[in-house]
Structure 1
Amino acid sequence: MRDRGGLAARTLTPAEPAGAPPVLLVHGFGSDGATDWIDTGTAAALTGAGRTVVVPDLPGHGDSPAPRSAAEATAPALAAALLAVMDGAGAASFDIAGYSLGARLAWEVAATAPDRVERSVLGGLSPAEPFTAVDVDALHRAVADGTPCADPFTAAIAAMVTARGDRARGLALCVEGLRSTPFAGGPWNAKVLPVFVVGENDDLTRGIGDLAEGLGGAGLVTVPGAHHEVPGGARFRETLLDALAR
């Protein structure tokens, strides 16, 4: 584990390099790089295919420090931190795959540095920003002293966040930062259109087909599972490897 661009990141190298660009793997909210990508076997499958893999932990997640303010956890700030990780890895260009929040940030990375992003896989992406429905003040109160949240969705986010113990305050700041910079779609300016992957029982991705179609023919693959089940599934892993293959 190395600190790159302020984020903790693992770099996994293949025994027999394929000569393709490295792959940046970005995990989801409340998770970490090991849980979404290493423990599921995806990182190993990529290195087995000859790819170098970079697996960071987002701020407030895994081994990375918590953000000091919501400004450090906006989508542009997180994209900049991920690009700094790839700078530290010496990667002028790279493929990227993200799941859930990781997919939203992969989109931001591609928007920020389209000349550096080659192929991409966006898994479990919600076409609408879920954090815009969070009562941030109530969330911070819940984290600070356990004050119940009247709004059911905010209460659900608060339960998820507070379950992380001393990580809770940093995660709440991530929610606030992301809420202030909601996902809005738009054109895809990177070199290759992304491949979207959604679970057949994932309500969070409802409407993603319209987003894919609006990009002019981006791939859309449905795999078994609900939102939290998809990253560990064999079909997701196979789809990702196929989409990033050279």
Structure 2
Amino acid sequence: MTVSLSVTHRPGQGRPVAFLHGLASRGSVDWPDREWEGVLGERPRMVIDLPAHGDSVALGSATTSVVLDTIASSIGAEEVDLVGYSLGARLAWDLAHHPGVAVRRLVLGGLSAGEPFAFVDLPAARAALAGDRPPRDPLTGMIVQMVSMPGNRPADLLSLIEGLAAEPFVLGRGAPAVPVLLLGGAHDEMAAGIDDLAAMLPDARARRVPGDHLSALHTAEFRRAVQEFLAE
């Protein structure tokens, strides 16, 4: 049975732009109308809540391949430009060559060159959510803090992380062949390797915008970079 995710459609004319948000967020938070209204002219926008996020269903500990199939089914067969941030960028990298999605141009914001989820101590994270002591390692502690933010489903998000870690992000596997723009905040340590990532791809460029991992996404410079790249 095909599972559909929650997708908010903003009508318009021309090729749609699909947006994928980051971990422990949702589409309306990372891609709010007040910031993106009119940025892409009259083009329709498709804002997707990832599995276990926002109004979308949870997929348990489904692997990356299953998550990608679910997102592809929710986007549909129409050609799109794809914009992802953080976890959304990690998934967009693979979606760009998924047989169920036709991607013309790809924007990857806040993308880490490594796979962080493989290093999350899931037993410690689950124990902390159950009231045990906080995790000892900083990464797991940060993940627990993120998934526990108001409005989130912590257990479902940890299961998602478990499934993604079981089939980790590998840069050398199916690198995007479409034109790619890599965006990173000037003070975002997670996106420190975007110049090296751009050098790996046949048609890519990297660009820095103000801010850290949380704030760069919401800057006018980020939106302008996306606007200019997708208008080419």
TM-score w.r.t. the length of structure 2 is: 0.91
Check 1:52–1:5 CA distance in 2 against 1; reply closer, same or farther (3 A cut).
farther
- How far off is 1:42 after superposition? 2.2
Distance 2:101 2:117 in 1: 29
Aligned to 1:182: 168
TM-superposed deviation, 1:209: 1.2
2:35 maps to 41
User: In structure 2, how many angstroms separate the alpha carbons of the residues matched to 1:62 and 1:207?
Assistant: 29
Report the Cα distance in structure 1 between the residues aligned to 2:101 and 2:72, rounded to whole angstroms. 12
Q: Counterpart of 1:76?
A: 65
What residue in structure 2 maps to residue 206 of structure 1?
Answer: 192
Q: What is the distance in 2 between the residues matched to 1:119 and 1:39?
A: 21
Could you tell me whether the CA contact under 8 Å between 1:8 and 1:57 is conserved in 2? yes
SS in 1 for 2:156: helix
C-alpha distance after superposition, 1:7-35 (max 9, x if no partner) = 11100012xx2x3x211100000110001
1:146 shift after superposition: 3.7
- Give runs of aligned pairs for residues 190-201 of structure 1, distance below 5 A: 190=177, 192-201=178-187
Deviation at residue 215 of structure 1 after TM alignment: 1.1
Query: Counterpart of 2:96 in 1: which secondary structure?
Result: helix
Once residues 9 and 114 of structure 2 are traced to their aligned partners in structure 1, the CA distance between those partners, rounded to angstroms, is 32
Q: Gaps spanning 5+ residues in structure 1: where?
A: none
Residue among 99, 114, 120 paired with 1:134:
120
Q: What percent of counterpart residues are identical?
A: 39
Q: Deviations over 1:167-209 (max 9, x none)?
A: 111111111112112211124344x221100110000012221
Q: Are 1:24 and 2:18 counterparts?
A: yes
Shift of 1:156: 1.7
Q: 1:70 to 1:233 in 2, by over 3 A?
A: same
Structure 2 residue aligned with 1:11 = 9
Q: Please list the CA deviations of residues 108-152 of structure 1 after superposition, one character each: whole Å capped at 9, or x if unmatched.
A: 111323871110100000001111221112112222344431222
Higher helix proportion: 1
Query: Does the C-alpha gap of structure 1 residues 165 and 82 become closer, same or farther in structure 2, counting only changes over 3 Å?
Result: closer
| Counterparts of 1:65 and 1:110, CA distance in 2 | 23
**Match of 2:32, as an amino acid?**
I
The 1:100–1:106 alpha-carbon spacing in structure 2 relative to 1, beyond 3 Å, is same
* 1:92 Cα offset (Å): 2.5
| Aligned equivalent of 1:60 | 52
Distance 1:223 1:162, change over 3 A: same
Report the Cα distance in structure 1 between the residues aligned to 2:195 and 2:100, rounded to whole angstroms: 22
Distance change in 2, residues 1:210/1:5 (3 Å): same
Partner AA of 2:187 in structure 1:
N
Residue of structure 2 equivalent to 1:154:
140
Instruction: In structure 2, list runs of 5 or more residues that go unmatched.
Output: none
Q: How much is the aligned-residue C-alpha RMSD, in angstroms? A: 2.0
Structure 1: distance between partners of 2:34 and 2:85 = 13
| Mean Cα deviation higher: 192-201 or 31-40 | 31-40
2: CA distance between counterparts of 1:81 and 1:50?
27
Pair 1:112-2:98 in alignment: yes
CA deviation vs aligned residue, 1:65-90 (integer Å, no higher than 9, x gap): 223x212xx32222111111122xxx
Bigger mean CA offset, 129-138 vs 197-206: 129-138
Name whichever of 180-189 and 219-228 sits farther off.
Answer: 180-189
